[in-house]
Amino acid sequence: MKTQRLRLFLLILGFVSAGVMQPALADKEAPVITLIIDDLGYSKVNGERAVNLPGDVTMAILPHTPYSKHLANLSYKKGKTVMLHAPMTNILDKAPGPGTLTTEMEKAQFMQIFRKALDSVPYVEGVNNHMGSKLTQDTTRMQWIMEEVYKRQLFFVDSRTTAKSVAEKEARKAGIPAISRDIFLDHIR
């Protein structure tokens, strides 16, 4: 397991250094690589390791987890960007965890759960989806999410757990800075 993590870390460093060290052409923008470490909050040790990674690494923290507040505070102190890794329903019906947003919820309940999740992680600057292959296809509920994201002046990253996601499109329509992930590195898959 440690060897896999080290390989993944070195692979990521290779991507980061390749993107940073390439000279920009005069008529083109320099490539940008953003590294987001997600699923943080359940393990203090692994979370602290992630926060202590060198460079501009973003921490995506699950709400209502044993170490979410601690890791968000530590991330902030270390100058890292903090995101809410918002649990959302998926097509496999796996349980994403506490604070899960579902397609069955009415707006009042949905927004109450989302706001509590946002408030449970200090220093949040953005939101991305945890799982969510079902919910991110739901235009109405993604609009509800973007209403609150816009109100709080956050950004949104679509983890693209499905090609049918409307999350980035709805974020942009709402005037929210948004992007979708291009590469997903996962030692389990």
Question: What is the per-residue pLDDT for 78?
Answer: 97
Question: What is the per-residue pLDDT for 18?
Answer: 38
Range with lowest mean pLDDT among 18-32, 96-110, 173-187: 18-32
Average pLDDT over residues 23-39: 73
Domain ranges of the chain: 1-33, 34-180
- Three-state SS sequence of the chain: CHHHHHHHHHHHHHHHHHHHHCCCCCCCCCCCCCEEEEEECCCHHHHHHHHCCCCCEEEEECCCCCCHHHHHHHHHHCCCCEEEEEEECCCCCCCCCCCCECCCCCHHHHHHHHHHHHHHCCCEEEEEEEECCCHHHCHHHHHHHHHHHHHCCCEEEECCCCCCCCHHHHHHHCCCCEEECCCCCCCCC
Q: What is the pTM of this model?
A: 0.80
Superfamily classification of domain 34-180: Glycoside hydrolase/deacetylase (3.20.20.370)
Give the rounded percent of residues in the chain with a pLDDT score beyond 90.
Answer: 58
Average pLDDT over residues 165-180: 92
Name the packing angle between helices 44-51 and 68-77 (round to 10°).
20
pLDDT one-digit tens code per residue, 116-170:
999 999 999 999 998 878 888 899 999 999 999 999 999 999 988 888 899 999 9
